[in-house]
Structure 1
Amino acid sequence: MVASTEFPLAPPPLHAGGITQVRGLQAGHFTDSRRPTGCSVVIAPQGAVGGVDVRGAAPGTRETDLLDPANLVGVVHAVLLTGGSAWGLDAAGGVMRWLGERGIGLPVGTAPGQIVPIVPAAVLFDLHVGDARIRPDAAAGEAACAAASDAPLAQGNVGAGAGATVGKLFGMPYAMKGGIGTASVTVNGVTVGALIAVNALGDVVDPATGVPIAGARTVTSDALRNSVAAVLAGEAPLSLLSGTNTTIGVVATDAPLTKAQCQRLAGAGHDGLARAIRPVHTMSDGDTLFALATGQSQATDFNVLCVMAGEAVARACVNAVRAAQGVPAGEVWLPSAADLLAGRAGGSSASG
């Protein structure tokens, strides 16, 4: 058995900043505490250039093809991140309705109402937490928009992260609570921010040390197994239904970018996922990152932006699990990173 992770006496503080530090963006959550589940939205009221990069093998998405640099539409008005698996894509209709009622969208004529808000979306699978019949819908999307602002954004068990879990490589009895996190980096007046809902098959690790923060636990449920080390030592993963995981998010900047550059920025964001989640981009994950560029600051070196994107995404992933709180999932208790730190991982029905 792989040696357990040793935790420090106190958790480090959450990484600073957030996606609302990016000029020209607002963000908000809707959380349905009955299950829990929810959705999160990033709104660009004045529009933003968009891109996307899908790396996981089991994605659930909407309006991703239009973000291809070869395709026509060049503006995005909002991005939706949602729980509920494919059911949760219904929430995008509510986002469109909310934007359309406020005149935010792509003009397609001169008569009233002839606008089409462009709202790409991605879902994560959270149906194994609580009553799977409760899913984000159009009303949930509208509620997330109504809550959106440029104020600091809540993290952990909120929005698209409400039902998120991590560390499922060896089965749900040994998994932990995931969540949603945000962070930002500013260099010479230009900001890159990220909002990431972490629902990974793998572990979330400290990028500086590679030490797991939250993920698959040992059979005693009081320590972390270290999924990659366990697999390399010969432990067999549990066979899982594809698509029952997925990390989704938005990486955004206030620098001006083209669609092609936004696509590359989303790809650089995946570097941050690879630093903070191990393993990542698996056959059971649908890892998807959107990129937005509002153009409200000055241009800067694109390589610097890519470095910033990877760092913001990695920090947001860490924030997601550090801010999370433990929840029940049927007969299984899903502890948080804070629970393990405080010695409160008990309550799980896991047995060896």
Structure 2
Amino acid sequence: MNTQPTGGCISDVPGVHIGHAHSESGHTGVTVLLFESGAIAGIDIGGSAPATRETELLNPTNMIMRIHAILLTGGSTFGLGAAAGVQRFLQEKDIGFRASTGVVVPIVPTAAIFDLDVGRPRIYPDAQMGYDACRNAKAKPTRQGSIGAGSGALCGKVLGTPTAMRGGVGTASITFPDGLTIGALAVCNAWGDVLDPDTGSIVAGARDPDAPERFLNTDDYLIKRREIDPRFFGRDTTLCVVATNAKFSREQITKLAMMAQDGIARAVRPSHTMFDGDVVFAVSLGDKEVDVNVAGSIAARMIVEAINRGVREANKVEPTK
């Protein structure tokens, strides 16, 4: 959904560079968003099993005013170490928080998905992979699907990985005639099913083990069974970043992240469970004027579109006409 043909990518927002790196054998990877001039940022955590690093800095009552990158990673908590490579890359470019004379500390909030049961559990993103993703970063449209942090992502995991489908990285943006741009990037590794926003039908999710050509429909399954197999707990998460060239305070951008979280609930059913670590980051990089309520509503819609694009590309599902 673009009112101007900007490519439908979060990198349409000026100041956003995207890079990916991954391990072929490990089926895991990282996706980095660089903001070399710094960005005002907020966060909303909607799931109950997050794996994060440096996110408390985004609380508006804390000192740090700007961040310099966001890293989305596979590898669960092991993968959080990849942020050290992002910091090293930025430090080499003298980008970061000026802690004292000659001391620069890049601020890189990080969040991870659980993909250790997809590839090789002892292979997970490290500092070198984070550094490589930064070297690959460009202010251009990015590939979508099973790439970067979405390399090992799945969705529809109520019965575990055997009946799940691929999740992945997706992105979307909208640009208005006055130049205001709002974009989103999502890494969908959801416990629930992903829905088409126009039809409400399942795009990707749990397959019926007795009839693999059909979707199980996780909502219906839960209504019928009223129980969940504990073997499949805690392996899920949808991570999102929303960016805009509108000017917002730290309090406003935090509210925008909270509103944008609704996009996950619209696209993934069910979402925000005890097993999901759903996280939405939001960043402000410009001086355009727009009401935060309007921007938050648009951001939620961009997240819906980004999630759908990622899983459609990963599973080669054609979009609805």
Per the normalisation by structure 1, the TM-score is 0.86
1:244-259 matches, cutoff 5 A: 244-259=235-250
Give the Cα–Cα distance (whole angstroms) in 2 for the partners of residues 243 and 287 of structure 1. Answer: 12
Query: What's the secondary structure of 1:108's corresponding residue?
Result: strand
Q: Which residue does the alignment assign to 1:338? A: 317
Structure 2, unaligned runs of 5 or more: 1-5
Is 1:311 aligned with 2:301? yes
| Aligned partner (choices 107, 111, 123) of residue 134 of structure 1 | 123
Deviation at 1:171, TM superposition (A): 2.3
Query: What's the secondary structure of 1:136's corresponding residue?
Result: coil
Deviation at 1:337, TM superposition (A): 5.5
Contact kept, 8 Å, 1:59 with 1:243, in 2: the verdict is: no
Deviations 1:96-122 (A, max 9, x none): 0000000110112223xx100000000
Q: Which residue does the alignment assign to 2:165? A: 176
Q: Which residue does the alignment assign to 1:30? A: 21
| Aligned partner (choices 76, 80, 84) of residue 75 of structure 2 | 84
Greater gyration radius? 1
Over the aligned positions, Cα root-mean-square deviation in angstroms equals: 1.7
Is 1:99 aligned with 2:56? no
Give the Cα–Cα distance (whole angstroms) in 2 for the partners of residues 118 and 43 of structure 1. Answer: 11
Q: Which residue does the alignment assign to 1:156? A: 145
* Paired AA for residue 200 in structure 2: G
Q: Which residue does the alignment assign to 2:53? A: 62
Deviation at 1:240, TM superposition (A): 3.9
* Paired AA for residue 198 in structure 1: C
Deviation at 1:236, TM superposition (A): 4.0
| Aligned partner (choices 66, 76, 80) of residue 75 of structure 1 | 66
Give the Cα–Cα distance (whole angstroms) in 2 for the partners of residues 211 and 244 of structure 1. Answer: 24
Deviation at 1:235, TM superposition (A): 6.2
Q: Any runs of at least 4 consecutive aligned residues in structure 1 with deviations exceeding 6 A, and if so which?
A: none
* Paired AA for residue 183 in structure 2: G
Most deviating of 180-189 and 193-202 = 180-189
Q: Which residue does the alignment assign to 1:350? A: none
Deviation at 1:170, TM superposition (A): 2.0
Give the Cα–Cα distance (whole angstroms) in 1 for the partners of residues 133 and 258 of structure 2. Answer: 26
Contact kept, 8 Å, 2:193 with 2:218, in 1: the verdict is: yes
Give the Cα–Cα distance (whole angstroms) in 2 for the partners of residues 235 and 337 of structure 1. Answer: 32
Contact kept, 8 Å, 1:214 with 1:337, in 2: the verdict is: no
Q: Which residue does the alignment assign to 2:3? A: none
* Paired AA for residue 285 in structure 1: D
Deviation at 1:16, TM superposition (A): 5.4
Per the normalisation by structure 2, the TM-score is 0.94
Query: What's the secondary structure of 1:319's corresponding residue?
Result: helix
* Paired AA for residue 215 in structure 2: L
Give the Cα–Cα distance (whole angstroms) in 2 for the partners of residues 129 and 241 of structure 1. Answer: 13
Query: What's the secondary structure of 1:143's corresponding residue?
Result: helix
Identify, as 1 or 2, the structure richer in strand: 2
Give the Cα–Cα distance (whole angstroms) in 2 for the partners of residues 16 and 130 of structure 1. Answer: 32
Query: What's the secondary structure of 2:240's corresponding residue?
Result: strand
Deviations 1:176-201 (A, max 9, x none): 11111111122342111111100000
Q: 1:241 to 1:232 in 2, by over 3 A?
A: closer
Give the Cα–Cα distance (whole angstroms) in 1 for the partners of residues 27 and 225 of structure 2. Answer: 35
Q: Which residue does the alignment assign to 1:227? A: 218
Deviation at 1:42, TM superposition (A): 0.5
Contact kept, 8 Å, 1:82 with 1:88, in 2: the verdict is: yes
Give the Cα–Cα distance (whole angstroms) in 1 for the partners of residues 53 and 44 of structure 2. Answer: 13
Is 1:264 aligned with 2:258? no
Most deviating of 17-26 and 217-226 = 217-226
Give the Cα–Cα distance (whole angstroms) in 2 for the partners of residues 195 and 86 of structure 1. Answer: 21
Query: What's the secondary structure of 2:317's corresponding residue?
Result: helix
Is 1:322 aligned with 2:301? no
Most deviating of 241-250 and 203-212 = 241-250
Give the Cα–Cα distance (whole angstroms) in 2 for the partners of residues 40 and 246 of structure 1. Answer: 15
Contact kept, 8 Å, 2:144 with 2:169, in 1: the verdict is: yes
Contact kept, 8 Å, 2:256 with 2:293, in 1: the verdict is: no
Deviation at 1:31, TM superposition (A): 1.7
Q: Which residue does the alignment assign to 1:49? A: 40
Query: What's the secondary structure of 1:29's corresponding residue?
Result: strand
Give the Cα–Cα distance (whole angstroms) in 1 for the partners of residues 231 and 257 of structure 2. Answer: 27
